Every structure is written in C-alpha cells, then in structure tokens.
C-alpha cells in the first residue's frame, strides 16, 4: 500500500459511503444506470497513472481531484460536450432555443469574487443572509443524486430544508440522455426546458434567509421584492394584462441585440399539474427568484438575466422590470 494510503477496513467504509447515492433516485448522476461510473470521481487504489488523477494525493474519499470544485469542473468546464458547461465562456446553448442553461454559469472556477454570480471558494457573508459561507458546488448539489431539480440538496443550510422535486415542483420536457450525448445535454439543461410550480424560491432563501418574509407574502413592501405571489395581486404596481399579452415594452427576441426587450422571464404556476399547465401564461403567474436571477450567475451583475445593474444604459436595462410593471 502507498505511504499515506487507507487501511483496507477504512477503504471499504469510504467506498460504501461514496456509493450510497443510488438509493436516492438520482435524476442526473445516475449511478444505477452507469450514466456516470464511480471511477469518474473516485479511484480505488490511489497511485495509478490515470491522466485524470491529480498529483499530490491521496485525497479525501479517494477523489481524483484535490477539491470539490476541481472535481466538478473537470467535466463541467466545457471540455466534456456531454456534460452541462457551467464555466465561462459557454457556447453549448447557442441555437438551442434558450440563451443560457437553467442556472447560468460561473465567471471563474473559484477563489475570486464574481460580480455576476455566486462566488466559489471565497469566504464571505451571505447576501441577505445570516451566515458566512465558503461555497463549493457541493454546497448546493449532491454529486450522487437526489430526486430534486438538478440534484440540489434538500437541506443546503441544514435544518428541515426544502425539496424541489422533479415531476412535482418542477416539470421537465426533455430528460437527460441515456447514455449521455452532447445534443441531449444541451436540450436538457437549457433554461427553457422546465416549467415551475413551487418551492424554488423557498429553497433559495434557505441560505438567503433574510428574504424569507418576502416569499409568498401578500403585504406590499418597499425594501425587498416579493416572490411567489401572483402578478395580478391586489395593490401591486403591475400591469397583468401587459404580462399576459407578451408584446410591447420589455418583451423581445434576444438579450443584448441592441433592441429593447428580452425573452419572457421564467415564472411559476401555483396550480400546475404537469409541464403543459406549468407553461400557461396568465395574469396569475407568479414571480420566483429564478425569474430574475440565474443560480450560478451569468453575463450580468448579480446573476440577473438582463443588464439592470450594468453601466452604459443598454437598451435592455429595464426590460425585465417592464414585462410585469410596464411603467
């Protein structure tokens, strides 16, 4: 055994823990169907000459890379066309009918601030939250899989947590390829592949907990934007008919095309029972965190899907706001 290696009994226990994922009905990293073999992330005997193994190990849980983020970006940096690319620059969604993936992309692989999205590997206070955190990909996702949308953890901040179950809270048109393929992954992970019913905003405020009073509330407030409330709610400064109509101020074919207007923001339908019903546009559609923000980040500040906070007065600066408010 290599110096620094694990005793046989500890190796067995480590591998048992690593393989505990399949019982959780994975939708993405599906180990049961060998959609992603264990050997993509773990190595049974550290020290072989596999090119995927980073020098300097062995690493915890017999991972082939030293850190969680390094491990995830080994596939998700665009180098594997079958895996969704979450690291800028991203081109895989061009021509897919959507401008980005459902969660967008990170501006860097970790260790530096990203003004356009979540920071990875940086210890800092959680915006609109009560804790300091150092995020890794595994802060939000379970690499072995969950029944949730995009393998997100049910309890990202501990406690009872919030499930965002695929087929119950979120509906999907195109499933992942089996086996994976570049075309199927592009179709699966694009932002237009899902319809939403509930719980995505509640999941976000597990960490951004100062916003909890503004999720599903009904009282008009001035310090934070309400989410999970209908656009036609009483007393709101909105134009429900304009939202339902889908034309005019705020609505456009593409973001950044020098013409005012962006594609319709994502929304949720509280009474949805399937994909078709979750996509029905009406005055009672609800805004959610993912209507305005991309979970990973994107091209614009604060992970917004349009350049509301970017300088230079771009034509689309107010487009997202106008879709609901039409001032």
What pLDDT is stored for residue 30 in this prediction? Answer: 67
Query: What's the token pair of residue 235?
Result: 């007393």
pLDDT tens sequence across 13-70: 333 334 344 334 455 676 666 567 788 898 888 766 677 788 888 889 899 999 999 9
Query: What's the token pair of residue 12?
Result: 């067995």
Q: How far apart are CA 63 and CA 52, in angstroms?
A: 10
Sign of CA dihedral 270, 303, 85, 204: negative
Contact (CB, 8 A) for 58 and 159: no
For the chain, give the percent of residues with pLDDT over 70: 88
Best CA proximity match to 317, nearest among 272, 276, 262: 262
Give the ranges where 41-181 is alpha helix by DSSP (H): 68-73
Instruction: Give, rounded to a whole angstrom, the gap between the first and last alpha carbons of the chain.
Output: 70
Mean pLDDT of the 131-153 span:
92
Distances (CA, A) of 117 to 123, 127, 299: 15, 11, 9
- Provide the strand spans (E) within 139-185: 170-172
What pLDDT is stored for residue 55 in this prediction? Answer: 87
pLDDT tens sequence across 272-308: 999 999 999 999 999 999 999 999 999 999 999 999 9
Q: How far apart are CA 36 and CA 18, in angstroms?
A: 13
Contact (CB, 8 A) for 208 and 127: yes
Mean pLDDT of the 310-323 span:
96
Q: How far apart are CA 291 and CA 310, in angstroms?
A: 18
| Residue appearing with tokens 């923001």 | 265
pLDDT tens sequence across 70-122: 999 999 999 999 999 999 999 999 999 999 999 999 999 999 999 999 999 99
pTM for the model? 0.89
Query: Is residue 4's pLDDT more than 70?
Result: no
Query: What's the token pair of residue 66?
Result: 């030293």
Q: How far apart are CA 188 and CA 303, in angstroms?
A: 21
Contact (CB, 8 A) for 64 and 43: yes
């Amino acid at each position: 055994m290599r110096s620094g290696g694990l005793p046989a009994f500890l190796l067995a226990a480590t591998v048992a823990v690593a393989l505990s994922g399949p019982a959780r009905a994975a939708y993405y990293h599906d180990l049961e169907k060998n959609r992603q073999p264990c050997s993509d992330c773990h190595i049974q005997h550290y020290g072989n000459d596999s090119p995927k193994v980073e020098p300097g190990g062995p690493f915890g849980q017999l991972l082939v890379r030293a850190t969680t983020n390094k491990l995830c970006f080994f596939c998700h940096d665009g180098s594997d066309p079958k895996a969704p690319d979450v690291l800028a620059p991203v081109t895989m969604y061009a021509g897919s009918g959507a401008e980005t993936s459902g969660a967008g992309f990170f501006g860097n692989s970790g260790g530096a601030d990203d003004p356009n999205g979540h920071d990875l590997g940086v210890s800092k206070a959680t915006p609109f939250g009560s804790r300091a955190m150092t995020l890794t990909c595994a802060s939000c996702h379970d690499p072995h899989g969950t029944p949730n949308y995009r393998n997100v953890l049910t309890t990202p901040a501990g406690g009872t947590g919030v499930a965002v179950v695929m087929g119950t809270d979120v509906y999907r048109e195109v499933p992942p390829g089996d086996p994976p393929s570049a075309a199927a992954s592009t179709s699966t992970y694009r932002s237009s592949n899902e319809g939403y019913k509930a719980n995505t905003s509640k999941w976000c405020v597990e960490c951004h907990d100062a916003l909890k009073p503004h999720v599903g509330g009904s009282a008009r407030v001035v310090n934070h934007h309400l989410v999970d409330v209908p656009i036609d709610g009483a007393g709101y400064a909105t134009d429900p008919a304009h939202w339902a109509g889908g034309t005019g101020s705020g609505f456009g074919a593409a973001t950044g095309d020098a013409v005012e207007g962006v594609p319709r923001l994502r929304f949720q339908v509280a009474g949805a029972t399937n994909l078709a019903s979750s996509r029905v546009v009406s005055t009672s559609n609800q805004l959610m965190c993912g209507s305005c923000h991309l979970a990973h980040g994107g091209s614009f500040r604060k992970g917004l899907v349009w350049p509301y906070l970017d300088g230079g007065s771009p034509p689309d600066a107010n487009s997202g706001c106008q879709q609901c408010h039409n001032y």
